Homo-oligomer: A and B are copies of this chain.
Amino acid sequence: MKRPLILVTNDDGISASGIRNLIRIMNDFGDVVVVAPDGPQSAMGHAITIDSTLRCDKIVIYKGSQKEYACSGTPVDCVKLAVNQLLERKPDLCVSGINHGSNSSINVIYSGTMSAAVEGALEGIPSIGFSLLDYAHDADFSESEIYIRKVTQSVLDNGMDTGVCLNVNIPKTKEDQAIKGVKVCRQASANWEEQFEKRVDPKGRTYYWLTGKFVNYDKGTDTDEWALANHYVSIVPVQFDITAYPSISSLNKIFSNE
């Protein structure tokens, strides 16, 4: 059987520990091509580069059987460049991550990691975003590996529903608390309560830092937040049709009267 062609990207940049671990794992599954940002692109959401030029250069500084390209753009740019310019055929799988930090619940819409996976799904490629709930640069990805292998094998074996990708979040484990397994979930209804920290620069001009506290309003036990809090890996299927279908009929009533 032909080895799968696997596209790997992320939003923390091509040299991040998370993607280095993901590349190492993916080399066991197929022929890996890495197209990843040349620096951090966190919280870039589904941003793309339309008004400026893109750089994308082959690099050979890392060990392994993979081919690698460092790109000046966003994670979504990386997927578009890979599929439309760099690769000779459509990949069999697109994986993004391993993100340093959670992309559960509402974080999914801000996440460059997940936007790359959504873009993969848009291109018709089975796609997965992996995130570990540890923001540290030197996060320990070792316990993640078994679940990344399991989900990857499962997607290679079973494919993916059209227009859908997976948002996989992996809890940070402590010595006394191992991961219990995986849970298929919905996105929790949670949000950030933001505060801006106002400061004054050396020239006397005001600037702001975004800070915030994550608040989960959702009491459901079928959510990603519940799964993660209870030491499960959460798997949320994600789609790019963001129509709010239940609102169509009420809006029709309002606008048909006019």
Report the copy number of this chain in the oligomer: 2
- Across the interface, which residues of B come within 8 angstroms of A247, CB to CB? 161, 164, 237, 239
Shortest A96–chain B CB gap in Å is 15
Chain B residue at minimal CB-CB distance from A105: B241
Using known A-B contacts A196-B81, A251-B235, A255-B184, determine if residue A47 contacts B55 with beta carbons closer than 8 Å: no
Does B245 contact A242, Cβ atoms closer than 8 Å?
A: no
A248's contact among B109, B186, B207, by CB below 8 Å, is which?
B186
A16 contacts the other chain (Cβ, under 8 Å)? no
Instruction: Give me 25 A-to-B residue pairs in the complex whose CB atoms sit less than 8 angstroms apart, sorted by A's number.
Output: A40-B51, A43-B47, A46-B109, A46-B110, A48-B210, A53-B199, A54-B209, A54-B210, A55-B206, A55-B208, A76-B110, A80-B210, A81-B196, A81-B208, A108-B242, A122-B191, A154-B254, A154-B255, A154-B258, A164-B244, A186-B241, A187-B242, A237-B243, A237-B251, A239-B247
